[in-house]
Structure 1
């Protein structure tokens, strides 16, 4: 799997990824949030696209992307089971950061009508294990099955464009 933005993200040291996420969070005027062992940083374009980062204390990361115009907008479909399948392959300790949690501007919840459990919606689910980045197995499988361009339909390309991975990124948080 190759994509210029993905390749650039995976080549960027984690402290720099975190710095860029903090800068973009501040520029988007999103308050950072502490979530059970993780710090949530987010960006949104105020038009339905977002990138949400969960940086854990042990050096792992959960990244959710969303493009409201994408075929992977499962919030519009209200398909809880499919949305939950996008998290397949992600360690449960990372998924726990977005399961049965309050929703927020960047991350609304989908609810399982049978159990009442919730999970944050995301067109893209990516994670860092402390050594390398991964695309969630469930998202990758769904895109293969549907013939969808994973990086476009997940919102990954659009949502991470402003982070300028692989390019100069000069702004500093104030």
Structure 2
């Protein structure tokens, strides 16, 4: 995969980055980050992956209120959710009907069979939910939702409409791009340390130790 520069300030740039990354490769990156977070210091934490229905769930968080969650289905589709603590679309957790209705509208356009994952009630750090008091239904609290139909990625129609109505930029508000996935860059052991960890963060000894711990993780998930 060649190095590519995307316009992260526009939703089209985010979609281009996702569409240029085959889903098996995106899943590999999510799995690598999940396992790396358990053995070396990263800028994010990650919950263990788990199965939910016909999908595998991966998630990472910054321990400060922002997170990304990815559900990859067995039939080659996906749901990517973002929660940014700084987003104007953060509806809060008042657990009242208005908040639930607003959140459900943000998800509008996501196929119903993928919406089952948006109702994930598994006990995990990233799984904050908003509940409808009348029906008992719950949805994961998000500021952005994006889904893959097997060929192309799409922003949730409700997210785009809400941003248009409020004069907001969905590329900023959705919180959908996990930096640690290095979209647009090669995802190798060496490149991960150069592009994501960065120079000067670790001492030479810490760098060498972290690379040694990370190497088996990358070997466990070879590029498809």
TM normalised by structure 2 equals 0.71
Pairs within 5 Å for 1:10-89: 10-26=19-35, 27=37, 28-76=45-93, 78=95, 79-89=99-109
Among 153, 158, 161, the residue aligned to 1:133: 153
Q: Considering only aligned residues, what root-mean-square deviation do their CA atoms show, in Å?
A: 1.8
Aligned to 2:192: none
Q: Which is higher, the Rg of structure 1 or of structure 2? A: 2
Aligned residues: 172
Contact 2:67 2:84 in 1 (8 A): yes
Work out whether residues 22 and 173 of structure 1, in 8 Å CA contact, stay in contact via their aligned partners in 2.
Answer: no
Q: Which string of whole-angstrom CA distances, capped at 9 and with x for unpartnered residues, describes residues 60-103 of structure 1? A: 00000011121111134651101011111111110011226345
Please say if residues 100 and 117 of structure 1, whose CA atoms lie closer than 8 Å, have aligned partners that are also in contact: no
Is contact 1:103–1:120 with CA below 8 Å preserved after alignment? no
Alpha-carbon distance in structure 2 between the residues aligned to 1:173 and 1:107: 30
Residue among 106, 109, 114 paired with 1:94: 114
Report the equivalent of 1:153: 173
Deviation at 1:6, TM superposition (A): 3.2
Q: Which residue of 6, 17, 22 corresponds with 1:8?
A: 17
Question: After superposition, what is the alpha-carbon deviation per residue over 1:25-83, rounded to whole angstroms, capped at 9, x for unaligned?
Answer: 22234211100110001111111111100000110000000111211111346511010
CA distance in structure 1 between the aligned counterparts of 2:151 and 2:92, rounded to whole angstroms = 31
Q: Give the ranges of 4+ consecutive aligned residues of structure 1 lying more than 4 Å apart after TM superposition.
A: none
Matched, 1:120 2:140: yes
Tell me the secondary structure at the aligned position of residue 183 of structure 2.
coil
